[in-house]
């Protein structure tokens, strides 16, 4: 086990997972507090259409099958943001409620992405490099390269800077959007920025956890952190620590135990952390509240 700590591939995967988990966990606090967990699910599932679509478009334009995150992550972001904009348009233009609109977009984008993926895989003229595209459904952390790590790092820095610079406005928008509008803030623009941050929080982990499981890395750390604190700043910091720690632990467990996929291992670690938080957190935990009722 100790020799794995000096293995370059293991170090890269664990470090990439830790950065991804910390970023996703921190940004997921906004989705959790705004009760938009389903939004994260739609974003992650919609991204498969952008991943496969940009891969196919790049092949049409260049004749080369490129699976670099520098190409696929922008594709995932475009598809995810498009899905959310269409959801908002449907909600505002029809009598369909927001949750139903989210379900419709999830089905359309995810179904279309899977259809395009199967068409590419079963084409009579195979596209070079298409093997492995299906790994984005559940993640393929072992395939992480140094270039992928730099992509994850850049998006982490961008989201962190946006969060720091726009902290008070994002905080106000999260807790009282009506008051924010009354102060003259352009709520629509800030909503789009917040949505973009959530998209970043999800797409950077597609290589690690995959489309299906990525929403857990966004919501679970925030759910656990909320049990321990009432401060947004402390919640974001704690969620980042829990997300990064669980992601790194899951990645290392996967390296130690051959055959154990990284994404599910991370989700198991997150599940344990959430259970401990829900049961034992002071003040909000189940056991703490029972003790209060008894006394």
pLDDT at 295 over 70: no
pLDDT tens per residue, range 172-222: 888 888 888 887 888 888 888 888 999 999 988 888 888 888 888 999 999
Give the pLDDT score at 281: 86
Distance of CA 53 to the CA centre of its chain: 19
Percentage of the chain modeled with pLDDT above 90:
39
Sign of CA dihedral 147, 131, 244, 39: positive
pLDDT at 66 over 90: no
30-39, 132-141, 231-240, 249-258, range with the lowest pLDDT: 132-141
pLDDT tens per residue, range 136-167: 888 888 788 888 899 999 999 999 999 999 99
Q: What is the mean pLDDT of the chain?
A: 87
Give the pLDDT score at 4: 65
Please check whether residue 227 is in contact with residue 278, taking contact to mean a CB–CB distance below 8 angstroms: yes
Give the pLDDT score at 5: 66
Angle (nearest 5°) at CA 47 between 52 and 90 = 120
pLDDT tens per residue, range 237-280: 999 999 999 999 999 998 888 778 888 899 999 999 999 999 98
Give the pLDDT score at 96: 84
Which carries the bigger pLDDT value, residue 64 or residue 225? 225
How far is it, in rounded angstroms, from Cα 173 to Cα 190?
Answer: 8
Phi and psi at 208, nearest 5°, equal: -85, -55
Q: How confident is the model at residue 17 (pLDDT cuts 50, 70, 90)?
A: very high
pLDDT at 2 over 70: no
Q: How confident is the model at residue 27 (pLDDT cuts 50, 70, 90)?
A: very high
Question: In whole angstroms, how far apart are CA 157 and each of 147, 153, 161, 200, 216?
Answer: 15, 6, 6, 11, 22
Which one, of 220, 177, 228, 276, lies nearest residue 40 by Cα?
A: 220
Class of the domain covering 2-294: mainly alpha
Question: In whole angstroms, how far apart are CA 38 and each of 28, 56, 121, 215, 233?
Answer: 12, 28, 30, 9, 23
Domain extents in the chain: 2-294
Only one residue has tokens 């891969």, namely 55
CA dihedral 186, 240, 74, 194 (to 10 degrees): -10
Q: What average pLDDT does range 35-64 have in this prediction?
A: 87
Give the pLDDT score at 213: 84
Give the pLDDT score at 266: 92
Give the pLDDT score at 259: 76
Put residue 235 in one of left, alpha, beta given phi > 0 → left and psi -120 to 50 → alpha: alpha
């Amino acid at each position: 086990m100790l020799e794995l700590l000096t293995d370059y591939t293991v170090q890269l995967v664990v470090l990439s997972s830790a950065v991804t988990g910390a970023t996703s966990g921190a940004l997921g606090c906004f989705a959790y507090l705004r009760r938009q967990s389903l939004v994260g699910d739609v974003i992650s599932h919609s991204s498969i259409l952008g991943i496969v679509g940009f891969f196919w478009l790049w092949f049409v334009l260049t004749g080369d099958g490129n699976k670099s995150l520098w190409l696929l992550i922008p594709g995932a972001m475009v598809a995810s943001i498009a899905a959310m904009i269409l959801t908002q348009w449907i909600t505002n233009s029809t009598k369909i409620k927001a949750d139903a609109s989210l379900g419709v977009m999830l089905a359309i984008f995810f179904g279309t992405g899977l259809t395009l993926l199967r068409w590419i895989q079963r084409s009579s003229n195979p596209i070079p490099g298409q093997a492995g595209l299906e790994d984005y459904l559940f993640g393929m952390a072992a395939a992480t390269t140094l270039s992928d790590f730099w992509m994850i790092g850049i998006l982490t820095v961008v989201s962190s800077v946006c969060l720091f610079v726009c902290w008070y406005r994002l905080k106000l928008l999260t807790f009282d959007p009506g008051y924010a509008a009354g102060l003259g803030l352009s709520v629509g623009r800030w909503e789009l920025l917040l949505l973009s941050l959530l998209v970043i929080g999800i797409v950077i982990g597609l290589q690690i956890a995959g489309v299906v499981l990525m929403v857990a890395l966004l919501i679970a750390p925030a759910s656990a952190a909320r049990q321990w604190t009432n401060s947004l700043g402390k919640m974001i910091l704690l969620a980042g620590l829990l997300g990064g720690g669980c992601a790194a632990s899951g990645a290392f467990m996967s390296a130690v135990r051959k055959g154990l996929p990284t994404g599910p291992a991370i989700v198991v670690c997150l599940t344990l952390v959430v259970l401990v938080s829900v049961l034992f957190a002071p003040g909000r935990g189940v056991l703490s509240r029972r003790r209060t009722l008894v006394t």
